[in-house]
Amino acid sequence: QQQVKQSPQSLIVQKGGISIINCAYENTAFDYFPWYQQFPGKGPALLIAIRPDVSEKKEGRFTISFNKSAKQFSLHIMDSQPGDSATYFCAASGGTGSYQLTFGKGTKLSVIP
């Protein structure tokens, strides 16, 4: 059972454009929603994370938007750069004492010059 659904599977964006990746979750016990960035041959690295008590979190060019009622959250990459080309995973964890991450299937982002 896939508890975190991610879309699109792949995304091509022009340099300077906005990249948007969406995720939806089912488990209402989830209370922590991180995004991980993975480059080829490397392990995932935490990019940005949000808790459900806020609707938006911004760090530099990266913003998470969170809609608790719809059980959806999204990653926005402003002014996308070729160096942002990577695979992005949304994830979720939560529940009493549960810190295990459930990952989406990933979005391969390509930023073209």
- Contacting positions for other proteins (CB under 8 A): 4, 6, 32, 34, 36, 41-46, 49, 51, 89, 91, 93, 99-106
d(CA 113, CA 66): 30
Give the nearer residue to other proteins in terms of CB position, either 84 or 104. Answer: 104
Q: Which two tokens stand for residue 103?
A: 């990952």
Cβ 20 to other proteins, closest distance in Å?
18
The distance of closest approach from Cβ of residue 107 to other proteins in the complex, given in angstroms and rounded to an integer, is 10
> 77: buried, middle or exposed (CB in 10 Å: 19+, 13-18, 0-12)?
buried
Smallest gap, in angstroms, from Cβ of residue 1 to other proteins? 12
Q: Which is nearer to other proteins, 69 or 99 (CB)?
A: 99
Report the sign of the C-alpha dihedral through residues 97, 65, 81, 18, in that order.
positive
Residues 5, 103 contacting (CB under 8 angstroms): no
Specify the residue, 71 or 105, whose C-beta has the smaller distance to other proteins: 105
Residue placing its CB nearer to other proteins in the complex, 77 or 91: 91
* End-to-end C-alpha distance for the chain, whole angstroms: 38
Q: How far is the CB of 3 from other proteins (least distance, A)?
A: 11
